[in-house]
Amino acid sequence: MTAHVAPQSAVIFGAGLTGLTTALYLSRQGYRVTLLDHPSWQDGFQCNGSHPAPAVFGRHRETRRLLQLLNATVVRDGNVTVPLEFYVPDRNLVAYRSTHLPGPLQWMMSLFNFHGLAWHDRWKLFSHVEQIWEQAKSLPRDLEGQIADEWLASTGQSEKARRNIWHPLGQWLTGNALTRLSAATFVQLLSTLFLGQAADARLTPMHGSVEDRFTTPLRQTLPSRDTALFTLTELPHILFTPQGIRGVRMPDGAMLEAGHYIAALSPESLLALLPERLLTRYAYFAQLEDLRTLSSVTVHMHCRTTDLTPRVILLAGQPFESLILMPIGAQEVDYSLTKSGSETQPPSFDGQLSHLAHDTLQTLGNVLAVEQVLSVRVSRDQHAALALHPGANLLRPIQQSPLPNFMVAGAWTDTGWPANVESALTSARRCAEALTKVVP
């Protein structure tokens, strides 16, 4: 870094959801920000512009904060808070409803009123959590080394409860099968969403895409005098030194220098920019090669129906793990059926997947009011989720890299959340706070 470079300046690699959010927070604190983008750079992990806007829990505070900052609201165009529903193999539909009681009473009553779990499973879970709260029992110290399914079994949860409730819930929340998911990740997520305030567990599906609800408003909100965006045709060359990044050589040969540099990229895109010497010198960077992503496939069925209520239904014993219903017009709904958690793309042809989706809707005919299927579209995502097997959390990097003026942001970093929109926005805020010390 040369002496004339303004300390309140930053170059951000990546102009997707994570990069734009980081740029917004920095520019609001007086930073001059340059965003560099490339056609090959994608956020991944359900954060790309084409991905559907996420269903938002009350505890997704960064998502709600950003929407408010963009002069938007989670409740829009008919969006409403909905219960989380479970469809179990005996063809019963059961809903988990967060009560309005204060403190621990809310989750106690919510649990006891949830008929998706048999009485003995509810009682076992209640007793286990109560003993931990009263410090009569503690969580195992090696929870990060355990599998979520095995840990649930050790707490007394029956095989039926794990198959019908806990597996589809874990799959939907993290993209990981319960038989591969770290118990520590699962426990932390359940505690965060369901054992806090009543509002934390309230769920709101959103219309539109990530582009509609986030990235387009972000671009419109960024102040033009303090931010610049360059779309590159070639990858930039970053000049790394032991003291940090000295600058960026642009494809036209020009040098770009700033006080700070932030990579808001996927692990694969970040690795492509790093020299080999950084991978051999710093475990922080070398561990990125050990992160694994999981794919998903979603069948979108545009249907005619008289039931226009948004719904989130988790499915047990079906080819797909979740079904999200979103109204898209007068008496028309998009039914999105998702199968996730594979380390390779599902081998099924689109036609086979469409038939499976039709069969699933017929199976759910007693709880859905489908009148006519108008069109079917299949979408695949190779980087839908981060593999969160035991030990994976130890590989996720914090925002500050070993290089003093270089930070990393993204849904896949160490934020305490699975790799999702909330995680991406949390990482963006942490980067901005580290530089400015405060973000409004």
Contact 12, 350 (CB under 8 A): no
Tell me, yes or no, if the pTM score tops 0.85. yes
Rg of the chain, C-alpha, whole Å: 23
* pLDDT for position 109: 87
Q: What is the mean pLDDT of residues 394-411?
A: 97
* Residue that is written with structure tokens 């990060």 in the block: 144
- Burial per residue of 220-259, b for 16 or more beta-carbon CB atoms within 10 angstroms, e otherwise: eebeeebbebeebeeebebebeeebbbbbeeeeeeebbbb
**In angstroms, what CA-CA distances link 325 with 46, 183, 308, 368, 394?**
17, 30, 8, 10, 36
Task: Report how far residue 58's alpha carbon sits from residue 66's, in angstroms, rounded to the nearest whole number.
Answer: 13
Looking at residue 7, its pLDDT comes to 79
Tell me the one-letter amino acid at 11.
V
Rounded to an integer, what distance in angstroms lies between the CA atom of residue 184 and that of residue 140? 9
Q: Does the structure show a pLDDT above 80 at 91?
A: no
The pLDDT score that the predictor gives to residue 131 is 77
> 250 forms bridges with which residues in the sheet?
none
Say if CB 367 and CB 297 are below 8 A apart: no
Q: How far apart are CA 118 and CA 121, in angstroms?
A: 5
Query: Does pLDDT of 330 surpass 90?
Result: no
Question: How far from 356 is each of 299, 378, 408, CA to CA, in Å?
Answer: 9, 12, 40
d(CA 86, CA 88): 6
**pLDDT at residue 1 is higher than 50:** no
Domains of the chain with CATH codes: 9-74+209-291+391-436 (3.50.50.60), 97-201 (no CATH), 293-386 (3.90.660.20)
CA gap 424, 63 in Å, rounded? 9
What percent of the chain stands above pLDDT 90? 74
Q: State the average pLDDT over residues 79-89.
A: 88
What is the chain's mean pLDDT, rounded? 90
Nearest Cα residue to 325 out of 374, 262, 370, 292: 370
